[in-house]
Amino acid sequence: MNISRRKLLASTALLGTLAQLKHAAFAKAVADTGLKDHYQKDFLIGTAVSSASLAENDSKMLGLIAREFNSITAENAMKWGPIRPTLDNWQWELADKFVDFGTRNKMHIVGHTLVWHSQVPDSVFFDEKGKPLNKKALLKVMEEHVTTLMERYKGRIPAWDVVNEAIEDDGQWRQSPWYKATGTDYIARAFQLAHEIDPKAHLMYNDYNMAMPGKRAGVVAMLKEFKKKGVPIHGVGLQGHVGMEHPELAELEASIVAYAEQGVRVHITELDVDVLPSVWGITGADVATRFQYRPEIDPYINGLTAEAEEALSERYVALFKIFLKHRDKIDRVTLWGVSDNLSWLNDFPVPGRTNYPLLFDRELKPKAAYFRLLDLKR
């Protein structure tokens, strides 16, 4: 080996050691704080809390959440199905635990979700003979639901996803049982009522594929129409179930700007990055869709390759650069879960795959993407 090559190797080794030391010191520094602290001046950093973590009082998971995040959303515990499986049966246990956990840790708590077409028992929409309820009867059930939930947590839940997923990707109204019975009145009434119950609450419309031009046009049109009518919508949630290639960042940015121009605050409410081969061209989040499992669409059962890990980190960095650029418009960025093992994307849209969409791995260790998001703020 010639001298200059030896010198080069020695200096590379030294640089490596320095980098390790720096990394160790940095890791210690972040151990005392968390992602939330690094983005304190920009926006809230949230996560969804799974029902399993609440039911098991999973102290490792809940401790990690309290250290890393300052906003929480219940992934499932407050949806109609779980919280009110039949009309006269309210199951408060998990939702109460969720709100207590957030209150104890002085976190910003998001109520998810008051009015959605999914996870709603048939008895809400149909009478005993299977006939759809008429407008008046259906609005009455909805009002009762919104009132009961919001009053229970009034003063402790400052922000609500009032209406979830009412608009299709092409901007048309979703033909849900709510819409079929009431037109758009259910949306207006839900927001008006929520505002009457808790005038201090921040009220949001939340949806997926919000970067798509058709959806953007539909949401903007709704915001305009409701503003004219005095319907109180204060915020818009872009769920953020994204893939590695889509949406294009320019489309995402255009949507953030377009919603903000309507005078509402922007929230990224359910961020995760699907790294697996897409089976349908675009990602979305219509929970009703399912595809058949095939080994060739599940390439990372034994772990992500280095290239895929790097690409995932890069995608997170690119997304957060956009969020930071628009931090004047964005109140909160919430990840849809904490660790890869608990993500809904292991089973959607293909059941039984191994996905890596979040910032913590299956052992709850921060992933490369996590450190890259910290790097962005150094």
Among candidate residues 143, 245, 270, 363, the one labeled active-site is 270
Q: 201: which residues sit within 8 A by CB, 6+ positions away?
A: 150, 157, 158, 159, 160, 194, 195
Q: Which of residues 79 and 216 has its CB atom nearest to ligand 9MR in the complex?
A: 79
Q: Interface with ligand 9MR includes 287 (CB under 6 A)?
A: yes
Among positions 91, 103, 105, 119, the unique one binding ligand 9MR when judged by CB under 6 A:
119
Q: Contact 91/148 with Cβ under 8 angstroms?
A: no
Q: Among the candidate windows 31-39, 72-80, 142-150, 185-193, which touches ligand 9MR by CB under 6 A? A: 72-80
Place of tokens 């119950």: 197
Task: Write the burial class of residue 227 (CB in 10 Å: 0-12 exposed, 13-18 middle, 19+ buried).
Answer: middle
Q: Which of residues 240 and 366 has its CB atom nearest to ligand 9MR in the complex?
A: 240
Q: Interface with ligand 9MR includes 270 (CB under 6 A)?
A: yes
Q: Among the candidate windows 75-83, 93-101, 125-133, 297-305, which touches ligand 9MR by CB under 6 A? A: 75-83
Q: How far is the CB of 165 from ligand 9MR (least distance, A)?
A: 7
Q: How far is the CB of 270 from ligand 9MR (least distance, A)?
A: 5
- How far apart CA 234 and CA 160 sit, in angstroms, is 10
Site string for ligand 9MR, 158-177 (x = CB under 6 A): ------x-------------
Q: Contact 70/107 with Cβ under 8 angstroms?
A: yes
Q: Contact 292/352 with Cβ under 8 angstroms?
A: no
Q: 339: which residues sit within 8 A by CB, 6+ positions away?
A: 61, 358, 360, 361, 362, 364
Q: Interface with ligand 9MR includes 75 (CB under 6 A)?
A: yes
Is residue 177 reached through a cis peptide bond, with omega within 30 degrees of 0 on the bond before it? no
- How far apart CA 243 and CA 324 sit, in angstroms, is 20
Q: Interface with ligand 9MR includes 77 (CB under 6 A)?
A: no
Active site residue 307: no
**Interface size with ligand 9MR, residues (CB under 6 A):** 11
Among positions 71, 76, 176, 346, the unique one binding ligand 9MR when judged by CB under 6 A:
76
Residue 114, H or E segment? strand 108-115
Active site residue 143: no
Q: Point out the residues that are catalytic.
A: 165, 270
Residues that bind ligand 9MR (CB under 6 A): 75-76, 79, 119, 164, 208, 239, 270, 285, 287, 344
